[in-house]
């Protein structure tokens, strides 16, 4: 871990407010790096714990303060841990160190151990998120120990695709085909070299789940009834923005970049308030705004083309990240010298009281929010993701 910097306020029991460098009109990449470092440190110190006291293990405890069942990892949430790995990779990419690389290895290995059945499960969205994290770990950090897991996940995502539909279901033997599964699946497949398959899924999403009235991506469709679930979530927009940007780079086909331009405009108009990404609550929803921020940063630095619309889209994507990060940092709590983020970055964060109302799996396959969402690992991972995304766009001069 990097040492504490002047950007982090002196250790105290509880403080609200801006750190000293918040007076800067335009925080630099160095400032955002310090804030990302503080967010990383907070998650590591509050949530990262050995699995069943085994040496050389580590997973994220799902709540803080944690109940005994949580500390024993009776609840652990597969896809939250995948995002913990992704955040750890963000930190290692920003400021490489042996400790950071080792942490990625430990969390990935422990993920496999706690999953009991190996790397895979029955949910394609879960497996896609882990595939994205392991692919980045191998590509950006040179971690070869994840290769076996990545191969297993790639096989699952490829075999889960149903050619008569053009998409993967939400989970095995299910009739629901949705953006939360197909978005990350297609991003992973594109990065693994299956560009044509990824493009086919992107076309399916655009034809099936894009709402013609709002321009946003709807949640999913039941087949063969064709009943559409119409909620629009920030992370659905995020993964589609990321997918179309990846395809614009890999294929050069203008249709993918054009979709990014249109979807970004819809997101900015309907899913932000004062330029700040809307919050998704706690539980699984705690990750939604962070995922959108991650892929907005990808749009900002990767979307190809010098046409005016594409330049404007890159600039607007970066602005949404930066405005959201400013708001989240301003509204954070400082607890024992480290930041605690809220689920809604435009509102002051609240201090969790006790362990009541812990996020638990629901009958519908999701995880509910704690009574105070700030308690949830998902919410804090989103804050960390956001700080890393702000550093990325600032480092790119955006």
Please tell me the predicted confidence (pLDDT) of residue 5.
Answer: 32
293-320: per-residue pLDDT in tens? Answer: 999 999 999 999 999 999 999 999 999 9
Q: Is residue 12 part of a domain?
A: no
CATH number at residue 206: 1.50.10.20
Please tell me the predicted confidence (pLDDT) of residue 9.
Answer: 32
Q: Is residue 362 part of a domain?
A: no
Whether cis (ω within 30° of 0) applies to the bond prior to 224 is yes
The span from the CA of 323 to the CA of 256, in Å, is 26
**Residues in CB range of 375: below 8 A, 6 or more apart:** 63, 64, 65, 282, 352, 355, 358
Q: Is residue 158 part of a domain?
A: yes
Q: Is residue 22 part of a domain?
A: no
Q: Is residue 102 part of a domain?
A: yes
181-236: per-residue pLDDT in tens? Answer: 999 999 999 999 999 999 999 999 999 999 999 999 999 999 999 999 999 999 99
Please tell me the predicted confidence (pLDDT) of residue 93.
Answer: 97
Please tell me the predicted confidence (pLDDT) of residue 364.
Answer: 67
CA distances (Å), 336 to each of 10, 41, 42, 280, 351, in order?
Answer: 8, 12, 9, 26, 12
Q: Is residue 175 part of a domain?
A: yes
Residues of the chain where predicted confidence (pLDDT) is lower than 50: 1-24
Please tell me the predicted confidence (pLDDT) of residue 363.
Answer: 64
Q: Is residue 19 part of a domain?
A: no
| 308: containing domain | 29-350+367-396
Burial pattern 351-386, b for ≥16 Cβ within 10 A else e, equals ebeebebbbbeeeeeebbbbebbbbbbbbbbbbbbb
Q: Is residue 228 part of a domain?
A: yes
Whole-model pTM? 0.92
Structural domains counted in the chain: 1
Please tell me the predicted confidence (pLDDT) of residue 26.
Answer: 72
């Amino acid at each position: 871990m990097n040492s504490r910097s002047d950007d982090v306020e002196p250790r105290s029991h509880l403080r609200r407010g801006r750190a000293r460098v918040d007076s800067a009109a335009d925080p630099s990449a160095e400032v955002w790096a310090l804030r990302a470092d503080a967010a990383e440190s907070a998650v590591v110190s509050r949530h990262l714990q050995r699995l069943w006291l085994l040496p050389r293990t580590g997973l994220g405890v799902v709540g803080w303060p944690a109940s005994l069942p949580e500390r024993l990892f009776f609840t652990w949430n597969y896809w939250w841990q995948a995002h913990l790995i992704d955040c750890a990779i963000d930190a290692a990419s920003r400021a490489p160190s042996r400790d950071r690389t080792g942490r990625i290895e430990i969390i990935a290995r422990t993920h496999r151990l706690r999953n009991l059945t190996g790397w895979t499960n029955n949910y394609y969205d879960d497996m896609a998120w882990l595939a994205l994290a392991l692919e980045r770990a191998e590509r950006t950090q040179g971690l070869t120990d994840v290769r076996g897991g990545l191969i297993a996940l790639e096989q699952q995502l490829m075999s889960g695709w149903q050619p008569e539909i053009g998409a993967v279901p939400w989970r095995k033997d299910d009739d629901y085909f949705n953006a939360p599964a197909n978005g990350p699946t297609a991003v992973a497949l594109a990065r693994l070299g299956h560009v044509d398959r990824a493009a086919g899924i992107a076309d399916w999403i655009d034809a099936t789940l894009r709402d013609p009235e709002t321009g946003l991506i709807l949640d999913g469709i039941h087949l063969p009834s064709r009943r559409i679930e119409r909620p629009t979530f920030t992370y659905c927009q995020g993964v589609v923005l990321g997918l179309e940007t990846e395809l614009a780079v890999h294929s050069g086909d203008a249709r993918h970049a054009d979709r990014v331009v249109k979807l970004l405009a819809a997101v900015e108009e309907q899913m932000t308030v004062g330029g700040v990404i809307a919050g998704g609550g706690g539980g699984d929803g705690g990750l939604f705004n962070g995922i959108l921020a991650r892929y907005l940063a990808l749009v900002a630095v990767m979307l190809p083309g010098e046409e005016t619309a594409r330049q404007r889209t890159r600039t607007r994507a970066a602005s949404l990240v930066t405005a959201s990060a400013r708001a989240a940092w301003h509204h954070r709590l400082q607890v024992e010298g480290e930041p605690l983020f809220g689920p809604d970055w435009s509102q002051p964060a609240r201090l969790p009281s006790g362990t009541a109302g812990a996020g638990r799996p629901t009958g519908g396959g999701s995880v509910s929010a704690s009574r105070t969402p700030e308690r949830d690992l998902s919410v804090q991972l989103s804050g960390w993701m956001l700080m890393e995304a702000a550093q990325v766009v600032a480092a790119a001069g955006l």
